Amino acid sequence: MFRLKKRTARYWKIVILLLMGCLLMTFACHDQFLYHQPIAKITKVTNSKPLTQVDEFQNKDQITYQKIQGIVLNGHYCGKKIHLKNSFTKTHATDQEFHKNRQVFVSQIVKSKNGLEGNIKNVKRDYVIVFLGWLVVTLLILLMNKDGLKTIFSVIINTFVFIFAIWIDQHVYGNAVIIVFSILTICFSAISLLIILGPNKKMLATFFSTIIGTLFSVLLGILILKITKNRGVFYESMQYVTQIPQTLFLAELMLGSLGAVMDECSDIIATLFELHSLNPMISRQQLFQAGKKVGNEIVGPLINVLFLVFMTGTFASSILYLKNNNSWGYTFNMNMSLGMVQSLISAIGIASVVPIVSMFGALLLGRKQVDE
């Protein structure tokens, strides 16, 4: 009987989540009234014949021009037809092709003989974000139940804290970047671990190990950059930076390594607590050795994941640089050098935190010696 009720409750949970997803997607597709920017729905698209283009580096591409008709969905011209133009290349390097029923933001709307005319500014993509958000929440609730809800709650709070930190950074004109994001790193760790693990020994061990590991990696990175006088580090590759790039780079480094270090600490501490629950008489030395073994197993995958996270963001721009006849050295310096430096410094933190978190776990849980 209990199993039947549990299964029925799970089915109802799935139905409710699916219904919420349908309602959210329907709302996201009809929320034009929330935007001040005019939005148009494309009703007809006419494409010209592709024209071949060749640039000075002998790169070949094809360009196609589009005549687009649409209906304005909000604002002063709501319900009126509008004529738009677009061009796209076969490679879609800096453009895209538009199709019927897509919703786009339009600007510079003017009246002409043919009616309204304007330019496409961007694509309305909020429904994609809504769908992905709903999918993540659904999977967390179905697979993790209460722990999933805790994760969602911690992400929401951390998001608001992150926005608040950026607001502070803007109002102090970037004069306290390191201080602001150092406090942010501590807040991220404390909030996430308090919500997910609760106020207990496990949370304290994970928190202090995370902070010490992240601090060690960042300080060592600063020391190395000072000794080498930043040679080989091309901060000018950080585009559109209006503050001192070195300090922003260190802030990125702190936040980037924090996630991997926290993940590693959580895994090791959880393992040590499980060992202690199975054998309360286990010694500190045994716990320390067990933590090191767990850490040695997960350090490699974590470093590789962090490397891929830092480097994949540069892949598209690197291909574009190489395609425009730039050398591998110049392409690496202007696209990949900062990501590589971040990966190496973060890897130091990941490796150094293994004995630290093992020691904290052993001191909190283990006995001084096993009774004979």
Q: How do residues 301-338 score in pLDDT, each as one tens digit?
A: 888 888 887 777 777 778 878 877 788 888 887 777 77
282 φ, ψ (degrees, to nearest 5):
-65, 145
| 120 burial level (CB within 10 Å; 0-12, 13-18, 19+) | buried
Which amino acid, one-letter code, is at 29?
A: C
Query: Using CA atoms, how far apart are residues 75 and 38, in angstroms rounded to an integer?
Result: 6
| 155 burial level (CB within 10 Å; 0-12, 13-18, 19+) | middle
The segments of the chain whose pLDDT lies below 70 read: 1-4, 57, 173-174, 232, 235-243, 366-372
For residue 371, the model assigns a pLDDT of 42
For residue 295, the model assigns a pLDDT of 87
Burial 49-70 (b: 16+ CB within 10 A, else e): eeeeeeeeeeeeeeebebebbb
For residue 135, the model assigns a pLDDT of 92
Q: Look at the pTM and tell me if it is higher than 0.85.
A: no
For residue 20, the model assigns a pLDDT of 92
